[in-house]
Amino acid sequence: MSLAFHSNKESLYLQVYDHYKNLIMENRLPAGSRMPSLRQCAAELKLSRTTIENAYLQLAADGYIIARAQSGYYVTDIASQDPVSPVSRHPSFPPVKYDFASNGVDHESFRFDLWQRYLKSALRQSERLLSYGEPQGEADLRQVLADYIRQRRNVNCSADDIVIGAGVQSLLNILCPLIRHKKTVSFPNASFVQGSTIFADYDFDVRYRNKNCDVIYVSPAHMTKWGEIMPVSRRMELVHHAAEKGSLIIEDDYENEFVYFQRPTPSLFNLAGGHGVVYIGSFSRLLLPSIRLSFMVLPPSLSEKYAAVAERYSQTASKVEQIALCQFIRDGHLTSQTKKLKKLYAQKLKELKTVVQNMFGENCTIQTGAAGTSLALTVPYTRTGLELKKEARMNGLSILILEENADTITLLLSCSSIATDEFVPSCRLLKNILN
């Protein structure tokens, strides 16, 4: 297969995605045909297996291909559907009424009026807004964050060690050039496409569940999508192993605020004494997904390297939102918001689990962890996941499929975007669709 993919253009996995999407829509890969294996495709296109896997995952998410257990990926019949318009690839879908797939926030969980006051206050600082934001992030926000994570997570650092950005991807784009000498990176699984894509674009060899890699990316409070947490013993083992091997740990502390059923565990950064660990935090789950503010804490060696090149980068996060968040935290609202959400989601998840158990009875298996806002539901099912997703969407139900087997399917049900009084009707609708 003679194809040219250019790393200096759009992401490689998107080029592979577009290549196969065109083949499918032009019927050069007909419905039902088997896609090349990941290994075969990587060899033919002379690209990394991770790049191919990310492209396949995106193709599957958009309905072009479907995964079959122990068999591989197969082309769907999407090309045979009426091409009514480029926007309406899936015709006549009604609005989503029940959203089990979203990582959004509960509508009642956030005080929009309060946040608007802080935004208006930030906008009144006209002199400050006449200049570009500091490349590393606003100094006063970085100091507030240093105090906040020291109190909440025992992450001891200075404001100079913190870098602010608009989301985790933008931070990884800063981090990867600082660690170019490292060649391999490990992720817990293939689901974090946004992270693995950045590393693949910087020519890292991306692997999964391999603690002997040069870089180990982990989310200790989000080991599984249904909220299992890495125990302290495994954290200590990982820190010691990484120190012996000279590996760098990237600790994405996603959803650490939503630990309900056990005491919060110490951060890897704390256990490592601030050496050999990059700590990443975000506010999308505590505030709103649309507030794109994340931060990373660099260990001393990388902090010095970053300081030497910091002026080469532009700040990607909104200066107005940084100013607003700084005062929001100073006034104690982030702490009270965390307490409020922790109580809200713990109760919602407990109620959702009860409804699911009552609705599906002994024919289901439910998995929950000590944190998070989701549960995993495994039920008997013999049709394809693509059929299930289409039927669900036609009925106004959005679902996320974790795993398909010959006679069962596992769904991830999030409680965050569905009101408590909608649990019963939404679960009843899901049960009717599954039967």
> Which residues touch 75 (CB under 8 Å, ≥6 apart)?
24, 29, 30, 31, 32, 33, 34, 35, 64, 65
Helix or strand or coil: residue 267? Answer: coil
Q: Is 141 helix (H, G, I), strand (E, B) or coil?
A: helix
Encoding tokens for residue 330?
Answer: 């100073």
212 closest CA partner among 178, 232, 185, 233:
185
* Distance from the first to the final alpha carbon of the chain: 44
Q: In terms of Cα–Cα distance, which of 42, 50, 333 is closest to 186? A: 50
pTM for the complete prediction? 0.77
Residue 84 structure tokens: 């009514």
Per-residue tokens: 304: 């010095």
Distance of CA 211 to the CA centre of its chain: 21
> Cα separation of 262 and 231, whole Å?
10
Nearest Cα to Cα of residue 255 among 291, 220, 218? 220
Q: What is the mean pLDDT of each run of 10 residues along the chain (435 residues)?
A: 52 83 88 87 83 85 79 82 45 81 78 92 92 92 96 92 94 95 91 85 91 94 85 94 96 80 81 95 84 93 94 92 96 92 90 96 89 91 87 91 89 92 96 93
Q: Looking at 154-212, list the stretches that DSSP marks H as alpha helix, in order from N- to C-terminal side.
A: 168-178, 193-201
**β 162-165/294-297 pair status:** antiparallel
**Ramachandran sector of residue 273 (left: φ over 0; alpha: ψ -120 to 50; beta: rest):** left
Question: How much is the pLDDT for 373?
Answer: 87
